Amino acid sequence: MERICLVHGLIGALNAPEILQPFAGRLSVSAPDLLGYGQFADHSTASLTIEDQAQHVIAHLEADGPVHLVGHSVGGAVAVFVAGLRPDLVKSLISVEGNFTLKDAFWSSRIAGQKAEDVEQGLEDFRADPVTWIKGAIDAPDELAIRLAPEPLSNQPASTIKAQATAVVAATRGPEYLEGIRKLMESDLPVHLIAGARSAAGWDTPDWANQLCTSRINIPDTGHPMMIENPQRFAACVVQCVVLSESVAHDRRS
């Protein structure tokens, strides 16, 4: 069975059973917490970089070998670094509205510029009213989205959110970041792009990325948190990317 690794974004994680269950029997899935999150919430993030996060994911992957790497939002930037640093561990790269430019990091840019106490207050406000928070991304959240909303908000301290936001802005502001993505896309590595149909227009994907990618999927009736809005369809799209990647790899070997 093919293996995938889900790399989460700025807030939360991707290891809720409701997100993982639709992959059962089709793909073997891991969804590790990044540094400063979940089981690593006590890890110092004082000088955190996206490369630190990438090395953390690499350490997670090294035990079991190559995977299809799926990065969501800020996790997409982490996945790009993993693929650049250790291409031997990445069978394909699946960017789920992963950061391309600072336009994608508009929220991170705002948080990075805030005082620590303001980020803390903002997180406390969201935790007190998680439904309002999730409505910022889903206009009409269903029962599942409302039930899951408190979990990502509790998975990290405010200091991690600010450190991760600062790290992704620093990592993606220079031209070398986009150059690295283009180099990956021009290599033999299959690279897939997945977006929610409602949020796709706001994803600052360069024209060359849409042309060079192995596939591009816009999931109907979803936005940025598509794995919460429609876990089954999200899983099906990831499976589709993995199957296509394996087919491409087979053709190249033949």
**DSSP states along 67-119:** EEEEEETHHHHHHHHHHHH-GGGEEEEEEES---STTTTHHHHHHHTS-HHHH
The per-residue pLDDT for 251 is 77
Q: Residue 77: what are its φ and ψ, rounded to 5°?
A: -65, -40
Cα–Cα–Cα angle for 54, 112, 55, rounded to 5 degrees:
10
- Close Cβ partners of 207 (under 8 Å, ≥ 6 residues apart): none
- Measured CA to CA, the distance from residue 164 to residue 45 in angstroms comes to 8
- Measured CA to CA, the distance from residue 26 to residue 164 in angstroms comes to 32
Identify whether the C-beta of residue 96 lies closer than 8 Å to the C-beta of residue 194. Answer: yes
Q: How far is CA 168 from CA 14, 54, 173, in A?
A: 19, 12, 8
The per-residue pLDDT for 235 is 98
DSSP state of 192: E
Handedness of CA 22, 24, 26, 29 (dihedral sign): positive
Q: pLDDT digit of tens for each residue in the chain (254 aa)?
A: 999 999 999 999 999 999 999 999 999 999 999 999 999 999 999 999 999 999 999 999 998 889 999 999 999 999 999 999 999 999 999 999 999 999 999 899 999 999 999 999 999 999 999 999 999 989 899 999 999 999 999 999 999 999 999 999 999 999 999 999 999 999 999 999 999 999 999 999 999 999 999 999 999 999 999 999 999 999 999 999 999 999 988 777 77
The per-residue pLDDT for 238 is 98
- Close Cβ partners of 163 (under 8 Å, ≥ 6 residues apart): 36, 45, 46, 48
- Measured CA to CA, the distance from residue 151 to residue 232 in angstroms comes to 19
Q: How far is CA 132 from CA 127, 136, 149, 208, 230, in A?
A: 10, 7, 9, 36, 19
The per-residue pLDDT for 139 is 87
The per-residue pLDDT for 54 is 98
The per-residue pLDDT for 231 is 97
Half-sphere exposure of 81 (CA within 13 A, CB side): 21
- Full-model pTM: 0.97
How large is the C-alpha radius of gyration of the chain?
A: 17
Identify whether the C-beta of residue 152 lies closer than 8 Å to the C-beta of residue 126. Answer: no
The per-residue pLDDT for 132 is 94
